[in-house]
Amino acid sequence: MSKSVKKIINDPVHGFIDIPNNLAAELVEHRYFQRLRGVKQLGLTYLVYPGAMHTRFQHALGAMHLMKEAIDSLRSKGHEITTEEEEATMCAILLHDIGHGPFSHALEFSIAEGVSHEDLSLLMMNQLNHEFDGRLLLSIQIFKDEYPKHFLHQLISSQLDVDRLDYLRRDSFFTGVVEGAIGLDRIIKMLEVVNDELVVEGKGIYSIEKFLIARRLMYWQVYLHKTVIAAEQLLIQIFKRAKECIAENKPLYITPTLRFFLDPKNTSRVNLGNAEELIAYFVQLDDSDISVCLKEWEHSDDFILKNLCAMLNSRNLLKIELNKVPFSDDIVAQKREVLMELLGNADSKMVSEYFVLTHEISNKAYSPKSQSIKILDKNGNLEGIEVASDVLNSAAFGGETIKYFLCYPKTNYEFKF
C-alpha cells in the first residue's frame, strides 16, 4: 500500500489547512493547479485596494478547507458521506476555478472568445481524469451535478456554497473591507440536509442574513467599484485593439502563448472542440503574459493601443460616472465631440469605440427564483430566507440592481502622439 500523504499549509485567512488525501495532494502539485499562483483572484482590484494581490491558488485551497469542515459538520448530524465521496467532493472544489485565465473575470471572453472559465475548468478536469487513470470520475460527476447526492454539488455550486464563503472572507481580508466579514464557523455548523437539499437550521438565520448583506456590499465596494470598472474597461479595449493590430499585420510584441489566442487566424482553433491544443496553450498563460505585453504595447506605433496601455500602466484611468438610468445619446455625443476636438483629426469611430465607453453593471446578491436558501425551523418546516427573514424579505434585496456607467479620458490626460 502507498504511504498516506498529509500536507499542511499556513493560510492567513483560515490558519493551518490540511491536504488530507493522496489525490488532493497530487492535484495541488500538478502544473495545472500550480498555474493558479500566477492568476490574481481579483484582477485589477489592486489598483484600488493595494492588498488585493491574492491568487486563485490561495482561494482554491481555502475553499477545499471549508469543504472539509462542511462535510465533518454534516457527518456529525448523522448524514452518510463516504470516504470516497469526501475525497471526490474536496477534489471537485479544489479544481472548480482551474479554468480561470489571467486577471480572472476582467478578461473572461477577451482572450478565449466564447469560451467561459467554467467550460475550461471542465475540460481541464477531464484531461486530469485521463492523466490520473479515471480517479477523478466521481469528482466530475459531483461537479456536473450528475451524482445522486445533490447536496454535495450544492456545497460546490449554489447560493450558499463554500466557494462563496471563502472568497467573501478572503477578499474582505486582503482588501481590508470589513463589511465583507462573515461568520464562517457558524454558517458551516448550521448547515443541514433535508430531502437531499442543503438547508440551514433556523438558529443560523442571522448569520445567513449577514452573509447576503456582506455579499451585496462587497459587490458595490470591491467587485463593482467604479475605479475597478474603469480599469477593466481599459483592459478589455486594449485586447480588442491588440487583436485588430495583429489582424492588420502591424508589428506588435506578444508572447507566443498569448498570440495563439489573439491572432484571428487561430479563431477556428480556439474552441472547445479543439480541447487538447486549447488546454496545452491555456495552461501556459497567466497574469505575467499580460503584464509584459502591457508594458511593451505602451511603446507601440499604434496611437490607440499605446494610449490605452499608458493610461492603465500609469493608473491614469478613464474618468467614470455612474447613473441609475442610461446616459443619453446627447451626453455621450458631447463627450466624444470634446475628445475629437482635443485630438484634432482623430477618427470619430476610433474615439467612440475606444475612449468613450458606456455600458451597464448589475448587482444580484441573492436570487430566490433561481435557487432559494432554505431555512429549517424548529417544527421541521422549510422556508426561503426571503420569506423567513425580517430583514431580507424586501423586493429590492431579492431583485437585481442595475447601474449605468460612462467612461471618458480625464481632461488633464496628455495623449501620446
- If asked whether residues 57 and 206 sit together in one domain, one would say yes
Model confidence, pTM: 0.93
* Residue 1 pLDDT > 50: no
Residue pLDDT, tens place only, 125-164: 999 999 999 999 999 999 999 999 999 999 999 999 999 9
Say what the pLDDT of residue 3 is. Answer: 53
By mean pLDDT, which of 253-262, 348-357, 406-415 is the weakest?
348-357
The H-assigned helical ranges of 144-204 are: 150-156, 162-175, 184-189
What is the mean pLDDT of the segment spanning 9-24? 92
Long-range contacts of 260-268 (CB under 8 A, 24+ apart): 261/111, 261/112, 261/285, 262/111, 267/113
Residue 113 belongs to a domain: yes
CATH, residue 277: 1.20.1250.30
Of 315, 331, 362, the residue at which a domain comes to its end is 362
pLDDT of residue 110: 76
Residues 81 and 188 in one domain: yes
List helix spans (H) across 248-390: 256-262, 275-282, 287-297, 303-313, 329-343, 348-354, 385-388
pLDDT digits (tens, 9 = 90+) for 262-276: 999 998 898 888 989
Q: In 112-239, which ranges are E strands?
A: 191-194, 197-201
Q: Is residue 400 a part of any domain in this protein? A: no
Domain containing 21 equals 7-223
pLDDT in tens, 308-343: 999 999 999 999 999 999 999 999 999 998 888 888
Q: Are 181 and 206 in contact (CB under 8 A)?
A: no
Answer whether residue 412 shows pLDDT above 90. Answer: no
What CATH number is attached to the domain comprising 53?
1.10.3210.10
CA quadruple 87, 13, 98, 160: dihedral positive or negative?
A: positive
Q: How many domains does the chain have?
A: 2
Rounded average pLDDT over 61-90: 97
Give the percent of the chain with pLDDT over 90. Answer: 77
What's residue 417's pLDDT? Answer: 84
Q: Among 223, 251, 280, identify where a domain stops.
A: 223
Q: Which three cell numbers stand for residue 313?
A: 500602466
The 10 Å Cβ neighbour count of residue 11 is 15
Residue 146 lies inside a defined structural domain of this protein: yes
